[in-house]
Amino acid sequence: MMAAAARLFVRSTNPRLGQVVSGGLLSSLSRTQTQKRNLAHFTYQPDPVPTQYGPTQKMNLFQSVTSALDNTLADDPTAVIFGEDVAFGGVFRCTVGLRDKYGKDRVFNTPLCEQGIVGFGIGAAVAGATAIAEIQFADYIYPAFDQIVNEAAKYRYRSGNLFDCGNLTIRAPWGCVGHGSLYHSQSPEAFFAHCPGIKIVIPRGPVQAKGLLLSCIKDKNPCIFFEPKILYRAAVEQVPVDAYTIPLSQAEVLQEGSDVTLVAWGTQVHVMKEVANMAQEKLGVSCEVIDLQTILPWDAETICKSVAKTGRLLISHEAPLTGGFAAEISSTVQEECFLNLEAPISRVQVEVLRGHQEDDQLLTDTCSP
């Protein structure tokens, strides 16, 4: 990641940094022969305590999700939560206590059938219930792909606004976790980004998660909410107890800077924040870090404004590089900010799909940037 930022400068016309960078930094970051544990070398950096939403409580990511669902079930009598194993609390404890509190007709298990779960959810939403469906892992969402893309996304359009499934929210654990291997680590946001009619949201921490999830549930469009599973326990923050919403389709500038814009979402945001600090210390480079938050529809304005200021853009995500969402951002930014760009836009795919051994590095991408 550091090398990525560094290389941007090598490519650019800035002579001051050129020599410093090409020498020491790149070689020190190049792959070593021994296979080390490369998993998620990041430290979670909590957000500052929000003061505008009322009293707060210490919660981790899964607890903040539970809190959001709790608020929803309390305020909205039509809300129902369903999915595999949600009744006892879910495999990631996101729905603990909800069945006892709200009853088994509002929080119930489904059999093992993703296509069925989403299809059923669409129907429930169309009929007026606030349906919150859980897919146990984002890797399992593909049987439901047809339902999401062909049914949920197009319902409003094809019925001329007579019907819609805006009450549907799909939640799924997302992203690398270190030992997940092929089928517990995927980031499928790019597949769905190709589909108008749905919204895709990925939070970076508990405060964002609760606010964004509540926004998704209230939003009158079908939403997919991906929760970074590695942060379920690792991310602890002071989260407001009451319901609050964070607007969708608004990227958040976490750190202002003047030399390069770093864009990421989910877990990667924390890596970026670390990179920004390292860049400042080691290279004297001032980075602007932006959390995209909503993948679809994405906040092009904030990104473009930032790039117009800094002139350089680096986007990073876990999903494979080819056709990953960074490609979309790249393409739009080069169109809008062509004359502002000092260097080609860099996309970095970090954290590849892990093999079953933690220091095994199974690769999924075949393109070089």
Pairing of strands 130-134, 79-83: parallel
| CA–CA distance, 169 with 150 (Å, rounded to integer) | 16
List residues bridging with 50 in a β-sheet.
Answer: none
Decide: is 323 part of the binding site for other proteins (CB under 8 A): no
Nearer to other proteins, 30 or 52 (CB): 30
Is 4 a binding residue for other proteins by CB under 8 A? The answer is yes
Q: Which of 29, 49, 74, 127 touches other proteins by CB under 8 A?
A: 29
In this structure, are residues 75 and 251 in contact, taking their beta carbons and an 8 Å threshold?
Answer: no
Q: How far is the CB of 229 from other proteins (least distance, A)?
A: 13
Q: Do residues 107 and 82 touch, judged by C-beta distance below 8 A?
A: yes
Complex with other proteins: residue 86 or 153, whichever CB lies closer: 86
| Whether residue 114 lies in the annotated active site | yes
**Helices 325-336 and 300-310, packing angle to 10 deg:** 60
- Annotated active-site residue 189? The verdict is no
Number of residues that bind other proteins (CB under 8 A): 47
**Pairing relationship of beta strands 168-174 and 79-83 according to DSSP bridges:** unpaired
Is the Cβ of residue 127 or residue 363 nearer to other proteins in the bound state? 363
Residue 317: CB minimum distance to other proteins, A: 13
Q: Comparing C-alpha atoms, which of 75, 82, 112 is closest to residue 99?
A: 82
Cβ of 164: how many Cβ atoms within 10 Å? Answer: 18
Segment contacting other proteins by CB under 8 A, of 56-64, 71-79, 105-113, 221-229: 105-113
Can you read off the two tokens belonging to residue 88?
Answer: 């006892």
Transcribe 37-84 into DSSP letters. Answer: --TT-----PPPPP-TTS-EEEEEHHHHHHHHHHHHHHH-TTEEEEET
Catalytic residue among 84, 134, 184, 317: 184
**Of 81-89, 122-130, 152-160, 220-228: span binding other proteins (CB under 8 A):** 81-89
Catalytic residues: 114, 184
The footprint of other proteins (CB under 8 A) covers: 3-4, 7, 26, 29-31, 35, 38, 84-85, 88, 109, 111-113, 115-116, 139-140, 143, 179-184, 321, 348-352, 355-363, 365-369
